[in-house]
Amino acid sequence: MSTSLTPRPGTTPMLSAQNIARYFDVSKPLLQRMIAREGKRTLRAVDGLSFDIPKGTTLSLVGESGCGKSTVARLVVGLYGTSGGRVMFDGQDLSLARADSKQRSRMQMIFQDPYASLNPRWRVVDIVAEPIRAFGLLDDKQAILRRVGELLTQVGLSPLDGSKYPHEFSGGQRQRISIARALSSNPEFLVCDEPTSALDVSVQAQILNLMKELQTRLGLTYLFISHNLAVVRQVSDRIGVMYLGKLVELAPAESLFSRPRHPYTRALMEAIPDLEMTGRKRIPVGGEVPSPISPPPGCTFHPRCPLANERCRIEVPLMTLAGDAMVACHAVEEGRDQEGRGALPR
Amino acid sequence: MSLLQVKNLRVEFPTRRGTLVALDDVSFDIAPGEVLGVVGESGAGKSMTGAAIIGLLEPPGRIAGGQILLEGKRIDNLPYEQMRRIRGRQIGAIFQDPLTTLNPLYTIGRQLIETMTTHLPIGPGEAREKAIGWLEHVGIPAARERIDSYPHEFSGGMRQRVVIALALCAEPKLIVADEPTTALDVSIQAQVIAMLKTLAREKGTAMMLVTHDMGVIAETADRVAVMYAGRISEIGPVRELVRHARHPYSKGLMDSIPPLDRRVERLQQIDGSMPRLSAIPKGCPYNTRCPRVFDRCYVERPELLDAGTTRAACWLYAEGAPQGASV
Amino acid sequence: MKAFFDSDLWWSFTRSPITVLSAIVALICIVGALFAPLIAPHNPFDLASLQLMDAFKPPAWEGEGDSLFPLGTDDQGRDMLSAIMFGARVSLIVGFCAVVFSTLVGVTVGLVAGYLGGKMDALLMRIADIQLTFPSILVALLVDGVVRAVVPREVHDQFALPVVIFAIGISNWPQFARTVRGSTLVERNKEYVQAARVIGLSPLRIMRSHVLPNVMSPVLVIATLNLGFAILAEATLSFLGVGVPPTQPSLGTLIRIGNDFLFSGEWWITIFPGIALIVMVLSVNLLGDWLRDALNPKLR
């Protein structure tokens, strides 16, 4: 079963996640467990996720903290091993691709925290050159320096910045250094884990513009992780909405915003403060995200869902096609969602 | 009369490389029942303004000039003990991380009751009933049963509600809330903001809401102050500021927020970054990034000037500004 | 060098008079000890120059004192000042080498345990825990005893110094290992380490070039504080008679020898080496305390 959206025939997606899962053992130590007579406890951070990312496009994953989106980012670059399912990188199994330095150099990652993602004891030139040296792309010292200068210019810094240390830069500038480092191995696939959420808005705009520009110029493929729907709208071709380790909706960006189908997607959009101050009344989602260690049975969203009924409490909904989107919701499948439509924005 | 008046507040940080001016000539006031939003980039001085008002500036920072008045009485020069009493009774504080405010060793009930019996003329029994009332008020389900729980038994969103109850229970006249919803998930944020706003309205409490999230401000505040490099660059009614910002910086800030309702090819951005406190340029601090800069901006520092419905620290609104000044 | 004098560390150093004083005292001790053969007024090991007639001379300011021997002489007529300088030399060398040894072992173990985690971590840390349950002097005594039993008597003295260094060093590594492991756990999860893992660098390379430089500040502090401890441990061992051989007396040996004469009135033979020991350890410890505060970002 493939839940990918309209895969173009004949082209291999850059990345294909097939029913991937990642569980973490969060049990107490053995001795404590024996005393308390508890069993093992498993956190299902990612629980059966499938998606494709065609080359040159951006797939975004959105969701609240703890929904597993950052874990997905780490799974697809091999920082975590999968507990189930498999990841295909350009048609090749990820573990094989990771073992081959040529394949490995085609994927890179940009991180959230610009203060933790650069080694504070290294000069910028060494930070940016690290992938070049690690993959042996250039071995002449002058050539490496020249290339680092090019990369820094490409991300809007000066080649002279190379001799400085990370602490001499602002958050936005550090994120540019991070991007320069990611680009230095000439990757085709970039995983961006909340790349702008630690930045101020005015700087966020700079970084988003830079990333879009680089995508057009270098033909990059992005997996973009964010909790900010407005940001996601600006960069994505397709968007997946995650809740408690599962995808609840996967749709083309425009379609998701013009016609959000899953009740959770709609709730997320309603929760965003209204900057235009149109005076629309917001109805906040009630309740909080349950613990992923003991998720509710059936559809995990049912305790907060206005459309939940008996079936939702028992049966786990599967991703099914609804128009141009894939949605995991009994209510949508049965057409029960149409009743509340009028109250929604847009 | 204003409840809180801040007049020409100046905060300095002596360092080994000279004195940094973290807040420079900051003036504003808040009326009872009014919510003033304070926005700006990190390092602009918005949190520091809050900290100065509640008397919790981190050393070596100190108030080097100006006055802070609560109901017409100066509170910026009070001894620590006296300020501590005011902080509990008349000013409530809400911080970003609820864990730093709640004592993990005491039940939330005990913390609420102690706060009330210290500051209000009521006994423990009455205080307990009131505490349950407050918990219900901030939306904690089954408050009567949960009052004897410890902070760690609550989820993040619930904890922040408890913090809010704690800040409100002594019925202060002013609440200083520093990024009260930033640590919360979007769906919880909305609930908490709505609640804060209702409570402030009902009780006539004035609120200073510090946040970097324009959305939160737009929903909650009556007026907004935009800060840049330790100074207020524009202050005015929230509607005016969000829709027709006058200062080029506030305008740039508003424009760079990605829109939710459409996709734009290229977002508006402000080039460069805010200067460090040690390198604030002469004249207008924004002159290195401003698209409408002219000669006067490099020489003289602008005061807050009338710019129609808002007040902006920008020479474009002075007499004799270049043509097309109305932004 | 210019960068160093411009650094926050140097700045905080110059602002603390006690630290400056400790540094000066420690420097005098170190210079006096290391260059003892060149600057000491006498050579206490040159048997030819020893005169039994000079034995038990009190310090120079006492009535029977001799200005040739400012701090008096011991039972064999050795100049106490020179003996202390030579003794401090042995103490310092042993202390320094022992600290280097425990640092090497501790940092390596801590780095590997913290970075690799899992079973390796559990194993290494349990070993450290077990060792921590024995008082370190006991561990040192044990090692010393075992070596004495194994090594033939004739070569005891040759082995004595390395054995003491090993004994003190091995009793101390768990402290380094625990600290480094703790910092490594923090650094390992930072995004710059993840970035290095995404490119596929080997764990060894990541530990060496990324993690190690970022966990060294606390190590520097512990090493300094441990130098004081190691010097004391050596003195204790020598005092108990299981440390360095009497042919190369350390401060501890001097104190022990002098102890025999304390009640017969020749107090200077044990008191002066004792004072020297206290001053040396105290100055080193004060330096360590300052370093800990100066490198702790929370206190700055």
> Do A48 and A20 contact (CB within 8 A), yes or no?
yes
Could you tell me if residue C109 is left (phi over 0), alpha (psi between -120 and 50 degrees) or otherwise beta?
A: alpha
Q: Which of A98, A104, A109 is closest, CB to CB, to C195?
A: A109
Chain C contact present for A98, CB below 8 A: yes
Q: How confident is the model at residue A85 (pLDDT cuts 50, 70, 90)?
A: very high
Distances (CA, A) of C27 to A85, B309, C13: 64, 69, 15
Least confident stretch, A316-325, A331-340, B207-216: A331-340
> C192 and A118 in contact by Cβ < 8 A?
yes
Q: Which of B314-323, C61-70, C210-219 comes out lowest in average pLDDT?
A: C61-70
Q: Distances in Å between the alpha carbon of C113 and those of C3, C103, C126, C209? A: 34, 15, 11, 17
Tell me the two tokens of residue A64.
């609240």
Cβ of C199 and A131 within 8 Å? Answer: yes
The structural domains of chain B, with segments of one domain joined by +, span 4-221, 228-317
Q: How far apart are CA B216 and CA B232, in angstroms?
A: 19
Sorting pLDDT into bands at 50, 70 and 90, what band is C202? Answer: very high
Q: Does A335 touch chain C (CB under 8 A)?
A: no
Strands (E), chain A: 15-25, 42-53, 58-62, 84-89, 92-93, 107-110, 189-193, 221-226, 238-243, 246-252, 320-322, 325-327
Give the per-residue pLDDT at C294.
82
- Nearest Cα of chain C lies from the Cα of A81 at a distance, in angstroms, of 13
The CA-atom distances, in angstroms, between A340 and each of A305, A318, A335, C252 are 12, 22, 11, 87
Whole-angstrom distance, CA of residue A225 vs CA of residue B4 = 42
pLDDT at position A86 is 93
Least confident of A87-91, A191-195, C133-137: C133-137
The helix/strand/coil state of A285 is coil
Residue ranges in B6-123 assigned as alpha helix (H): 46-53, 80-89, 98-101, 108-119
pLDDT reported for residue A283 = 63
Nearest to A116 among C192, C196, C199 (CB): C192
CB contacts of A111 in chain C (<8 Å) are 191, 194-195
Q: Which of A113, A115, A199, A201 to mutate to test the interface with B (most CBs of B within 10 A)?
A: A201
pLDDT of amino acid A276: 65
Region A212-225: mean pLDDT is 96
Q: Name the residue in chain C with its Cα closest to that of A118.
A: C192
The length of chain A is: 346
C-alpha A95/C-alpha A100 separation (Å) is 9
Instruction: Report CB contact under 8 Å: C194, A79.
Output: yes
Any CB–CB contact under 8 A between A70 and chain C? Answer: no
Do B34 and B207 meet the contact criterion of CB atoms below 8 Å apart?
A: yes
Cα distance between residue C101 and residue C166, in whole Å: 7
Query: How many A/B residue pairs have CB atoms within 8 Å?
Result: 120
Distances C151 to A146, B244, C158, C159 between C-alpha atoms, Å: 61, 89, 10, 8
Residue A2 has pLDDT above 50, yes or no: no
Whether A204 contacts chain B with CB within 8 A: yes
Cα distance from C119 to chain A (closest Cα, Å)?
A: 13
- 3-class SS string, B174-209: EEEEECCCCCCCHHHHHHHHHHHHHHHHHHCCEEEE
Q: Quickly tell me which residue has 């020297």 as its tokens.
A: C276
Contacts of C194 in chain A (CB under 8 A): 74, 79, 109, 111, 117
Residue A280 has pLDDT above 60, yes or no: no
pLDDT band for position A344 (cuts 50, 70, 90):
very low
- Whether A104 sits inside 8 A of C210 (CB atoms) is no
Q: How far apart are CA B67 and CA A95, in angstroms?
A: 64
Bridge pairing between strands A15-25 and A84-89: antiparallel
Q: Please report the pLDDT score of residue C102 as a whole number.
A: 94
Beta strand pairing call for A92-93 and B91-94? unpaired
A partners (3+ CB pairs within 8 A) are B, C
Question: In this model, does residue A346 exceed pLDDT 50?
Answer: no
Distance CA C8, CA C41 (A): 41
Which pLDDT tens digit goes with each residue over A4-56? 445 555 689 999 999 999 999 888 777 788 887 777 888 889 999 999 999 99
The rounded Cα C257 to chain-centroid distance in angstroms is 22
Q: How far apart are the first and last CA of chain C?
A: 23
DSSP 8-state code for residue C208: I
Within 280-339 of A, beta carbons closer than 8 Å to B belong to 282, 284-286, 288-289
Please write the tens of the pLDDT for every residue from A121-155. 999 999 999 999 999 999 899 999 999 999 999 99
> What sections of B209-274 are H helices per DSSP?
214-220, 238-243, 248-255
Cα A76 to its chain centre, rounded Å, is 10
What is the Cα Rg of chain A in Å?
22
Across the interface, of C191, C199, C213, the residue whose CB is closest to A130 is C199
pLDDT for A4 equals 46
Considering only the beta carbons, identify the residue of A170, A203, A231 that sits closest to B258: A231
| β-pair partners for B238 | none
* Chain B positions in Cβ-Cβ contact with residue A288 (cut-off 8 Å): 155, 157-158, 185, 187-188
Smallest CA–CA separation between C131 and chain A, in Å? 22
The C-alpha of A126 sits at a distance from chain C's nearest C-alpha, in angstroms, of 11
**Contact with chain C for residue A108, Cβ under 8 A:** yes
pLDDT at A343 exceeding the cut of 70: no
Flag whether residue A134 sits within 8 Å of chain C, measured between CB atoms: yes
Measured in degrees and rounded to the nearest 5, phi and psi for residue B82 equal -65, -40
* Residue A52, phi then psi, degrees to nearest 5: -120, 150
| C-beta separation of C235 from C277 below 8 A | yes
The answer to whether A111 contacts chain C (CB < 8 Å) is yes
**pLDDT of B199:** 78
Distance from CA of C129 to the nearest CA of A (A): 17
Nearest-Cα residue of chain A relative to residue C191: A117
Q: What is the least distance, in Å, from the CA of B318 to any CA of chain A?
A: 26
Give the nearest partner residue to B218 out of A200, A212, A274, using CB atoms: A274
Kindly list the residues from chain C whose CB atom is less than 8 angstroms away from the CB atom of residue A77: 198
* Distances, alpha carbon C57 to alpha carbons A332, C74, C253, C277, in Å: 104, 7, 19, 22
Q: Inter-chain contact A130–C194, Cβ cutoff 8 Å?
A: no
Identify whether the C-beta of residue A232 lies closer than 8 Å to the C-beta of residue A226: yes
pLDDT of amino acid A10: 60
- B37, B26, B27, B5: which is closest to B200 by C-alpha? B37
Tell me whether residues A289 and B185 touch, CB distance under 8 A: yes
What confidence score (pLDDT) does residue B202 get? 84
| Location of structure tokens 């809740």 | A243
Amino acid at C239: F
- Residues of A within 8 A of C214 (CB-CB) are 119-121
Tens of pLDDT, residues C138-196? 877 888 788 888 888 777 777 788 888 988 888 889 999 999 999 999 999 999 999 99
Task: Name the CA dihedral angle for C10, C14, C15, C19, rounded to a multiple of 10 degrees.
Answer: 100
Q: Are C197 and A79 inside 8 Å of each other by CB?
A: yes
Which of A65, A172, A212 is closest, CB to CB, to B185? A65
* Chain A touched by C210 (CB under 8 Å): yes
- In the prediction, which pLDDT does C140 show? 76
Say if residue C174 is preceded by a cis peptide, omega within 30 of 0.
no
Q: Is A173 on the interface with B (CB under 8 A)?
A: yes
pLDDT of residue B207: 93
pLDDT of residue C68: 77
d(CA C290, CA C295): 8
Q: A134 vs C199: CB contact, 8 Å cut-off? A: yes
Cα–Cα distance for residue pair C114/C183, rounded to 1 Å: 8
- Rounded CA gap, C232 and C91, in Å? 9
What average pLDDT score do residues C101-123 get?
Answer: 94
What are the pLDDT digits (tens) for C262-293?
A: 788 788 888 888 999 999 999 999 998 888 88
Residues of A in contact with C190 (CB under 8 A): 116-117
Look up residue B284 and give its two tokens: 């207008």
Region A314-339: mean pLDDT is: 89
Residue B270: closest C-alpha in chain A: A202
CB pairs under 8 A between A and C: 48
For testing contact with chain C, the best of A71, A119, A165 (most C CBs within 10 A): A119
Which pLDDT tens digits describe chain B residue by residue (327 residues)?
789 999 999 999 988 778 899 999 999 999 998 999 999 888 899 999 999 999 988 888 899 999 999 999 999 989 988 998 888 889 998 887 777 788 889 999 999 999 999 888 999 999 999 999 989 888 888 888 899 999 888 877 788 889 988 988 888 999 999 988 877 777 777 777 877 888 778 888 999 999 888 888 888 899 999 999 999 999 999 999 988 999 999 999 999 999 888 899 899 999 888 888 888 999 999 999 999 999 999 999 999 999 988 999 999 998 877 765 444
> Is B269 in contact with A209 (Cβ distance < 8 A)?
yes
Chain A residues touching residue C195 (CB < 8 angstroms): 109, 111, 117, 178, 181
Supply the pTM of this predicted model. 0.86
Contact A79 C198 (CB under 8 A): yes
Whether the CB of A197 is below 8 Å from some CB of chain B: the reply is no
For the record, the structure tokens of C98 come out as 């022992």
* H-type alpha helices, chain C: 2-5, 8-14, 17-34, 36-39, 80-116, 118-133, 136-150, 156-170, 173-188, 191-199, 203-206, 212-239, 251-259, 268-295
Whether chain C has a CB inside 8 Å of the CB on A120: the answer is yes
Whole-number pLDDT of residue C300: 39
**B206-210 and B174-178 as β-strands: parallel, antiparallel, unpaired?**
parallel
Of the ranges A238-252, C72-86, C122-136, the best mean pLDDT one = A238-252
| Cα radius of gyration (chain B) | 21
Query: Is 80 exceeded by the pLDDT of residue A263?
Result: yes
Q: Residue A43: which H helix or E strand, with range? A: strand A42-53
pLDDT at A207 exceeding the cut of 90 = yes
Q: Which tokens sit at B228?
A: 């840049």
Considering only CB atoms, which chain C residues are within 8 Å of A117? 190-192, 194-195
Q: What string of DSSP letters covers A52-106?
A: EE-TT-EEEEE--TTSSHHHHHHHHTTSS--SEEEEEETTEEHHHHHHSHHHHTT
Instruction: State which CATH number among 3.40.50.1100, 3.30.465.10, 3.40.50.300, 3.50.30.10 fits the domain covering B4-221.
Output: 3.40.50.300
Chains that touch C (3 or more CB pairs under 8 A): A
Residue of A nearest to B211 (CA): A200
**Nearest CB to A116: which of C191, C197, C200?**
C191
Q: Which of C272, C264, C265, C274 is nearest to C239 (CA)?
A: C274
Question: Positive or negative, the Cα torsion across A273, A274, A279, A284?
Answer: negative
- The rounded distance, in Å, linking the Cα atoms of B147 and B126 is 14
User: For the segment C131-144, what is each residue's pLDDT rounded down to a tens digit?
Assistant: 888 877 787 788 87
A153, containing H or E segment: helix A141-154
| Min Cα separation B164/chain A (Å) | 18
